[in-house]
Amino acid sequence: MTNYQLGLDFAKKQDQNDQLAGFRSQFHIPKDHQGNDLIYMTGNSLGLQPKISKAYVNQELDDWAKLGVEGHTEAKNPWLHYHEYLTETMANIVGAKPIEVVVMNSLTVNLHLMMVSFYKPTSKRYKILIEADAFPSDKYAMESQLRHHGFDQKDGLVLWKSRAHEVLANYDDLETILKEQGDTIALIMIGGVNYYTGQFFDLKRITELGRQHGCLVGFDCAHGAGNVQLNLHESGADFAVWCTYKYLNSGPGSLSGAFVHERHAHKKDLNRFTGWWSHNKETRFRMRDEFDQLPGAEGWQLSNPPILSMAAIRASLDVFEEAGFDNLCKKSKALTGYFEFLIQDLNNPDINIITPSHPDERGCQLSIQVKNADKSLHQKLMDAGVITDWREPDVIRCAPIPLYNSFEDVYKLVARLKTILN
């Protein structure tokens, strides 16, 4: 969609014609002191709560109260296999096969577990390549892995930097790095969608480049899962991890997802940390058998699943399934394109959108750089009923989420930003 128009009437008409508009009513929208809906544009940090989440969690609380330990087998949704209820829908969202996906642990924990298996340094090939402005937790994790294996973190961490006076990472520069240092790089670990700029990287292209130089490849898809079509299986990546509390609306600090490509599914000799939940399900409770590795991503599990958190994830995934992820991605592009159109119409020389303009190179996040601004601008927006996300030194991140944001939300956000800037 490119035939955007100015004026509130256009936004209202788009909402009237939006087949997904009804899903907004399935979410709790934060309100101001007068009871008016706030304009919530921070689903890229914490997604809103689906109204059915409480019922899903309460079901498990009720079964726990009534059944105690027997809930593992006798609950309405037996806890013993609860993580399996999430697998198929989650696999569809990230573009994977069910055998390649599991929900477990938290994001950085899963990242470390993946590196136990896929970061295999030698005296010659030991470096890790990441984008220079990676999410801090990823950078810290990479540095600690280097130290753990006895390497210097400054020497061992290769940064894919943007060019001078540019913000976005350039693939030509990545190719140059790999040509010059590829034989020393053990692992490429990139954020699938950069948290700061919103740049959606070409996962398949990066994976193919890495494989040409003998590197293993993984992605942190925290800002991609539930936002863009990741197509993880097709990308050929060795592994990926993501959280579920941003675009996947599972609640603060909720569990992470992990992807391991099916070519690794039956490699029982692949180094990994293990626990009883990665043991053969048929013999797990005999308790004294020798370890028998589960195939696929499930084989990276350690412990039995935290049911209450998984219940909230299940609620959100059921909403995604009802809406259809392809439909959501289509609306996302229309909503974000409209947002970009309105920002550009401000014709303000102090404003620069640092997120890629091509719809296939971004999700629903726009990172708006405001010259000479500080966090007081963010506070003024908050005071005006707009919840956005500030990132130092001068960027407001806004994410119009297709499940619960409207075209009118976008219109009002830009109108209030214009008033504040003027």
**8-59 pLDDT, tens digit each:** 999 999 999 999 999 999 999 999 999 999 999 999 999 999 999 999 999 9
Contact predicate 192/200, CB 8 Å: yes
Q: Where are the domains of the chain?
A: 8-48+324-421, 83-304
d(CA 75, CA 68): 9
Distance CA 353, CA 9 (A): 25
Residue in this structure with the two tokens 């990276």, named with its chain if needed? 300
Asked: is 8-48+324-421 a CATH 3.90.1150.10 domain? The reply is yes
Going by C-alpha positions, the residue among 244, 235, 242, 410 that lies closest to residue 331 is: 410
pLDDT at residue 373 in the model = 85
Q: Which helix (H) or strand (E) holds 186?
A: strand 185-191
Mean pLDDT of 399-417: 98
**DSSP state letter for 127:** E
Can you tell me the distance from the alpha carbon of 294 to that of 81, in angstroms, rounded to the nearest whole number?
14
CA separation for the pair 139, 131 (Å, rounded): 9
pTM: 0.96
Residues 6+ apart with CB under 8 A from 382: 388
Q: How far is CA 253 from CA 46, 125, 245, 248, 404, in A?
A: 9, 35, 7, 12, 21
Residue 69 has pLDDT above 90, yes or no: yes
pLDDT at 155 over 70: yes
Q: What is the structure's pLDDT at 307?
A: 98
CA pair distance 128, 133, nearest whole angstrom: 14
CA count, 13 A, side-chain hemisphere, 416: 20
pLDDT tens track for 208-256 = 999 999 999 999 999 999 999 999 999 999 999 999 999 999 999 999 9
List Cβ neighbours of 91 (8 Å cut-off, separation of 6 or more): 97, 98, 100, 101
Other CB atoms within 10 A of residue 101 CB: 27
Q: How many CB atoms lie within 10 A of CB 359?
A: 17
Confidence at 1, pLDDT banded by 50, 70, 90:
low
Task: Let me know: does 78 contact 71? Beta carbons within 8 Å.
Answer: yes
Give the number of residues written for the chain: 422
Neighbours of 130 (CB within 10 A): 22
Closest CA to 337 of 290, 402, 385, 249: 402
Mean pLDDT of the chain: 96
User: pLDDT tens, 241-300?
Assistant: 999 999 999 999 999 999 999 999 999 999 999 999 999 999 988 888 889 999 999 999
User: What does the pLDDT read at residue 287?
Assistant: 84
- Count other Cβ atoms within 10 Å, centred on residue 31: 11
Please tell me whether the peptide bond between 393 and the residue prior to it is cis, using omega within 30 degrees of 0: yes
CB neighbour list of residue 147: distance below 8 Å, 6 or more residues apart: 153
3 state DSSP class of 58: helix
Orientation of helix 203-212 relative to helix 171-181, angle to 10°: 20
pLDDT score of 68 more than 80: yes
Look at strands 101-104 and 351-353 and give their pairing: unpaired
CATH of domain 83-304: 3.40.640.10
DSSP-derived pairing of the beta strands 239-243 and 216-220? parallel
Residue 47 neighbours by CB under 8 Å, 6+ apart: 226, 245, 246, 247, 248, 249, 250, 316, 401
Mean pLDDT of 346-372: 95
pLDDT of 288 reads: 83
Q: Which residues pair with 219 in a beta bridge?
A: 190, 240
What percent of the chain clears pLDDT 70, i.e. is strictly above it?
Answer: 100
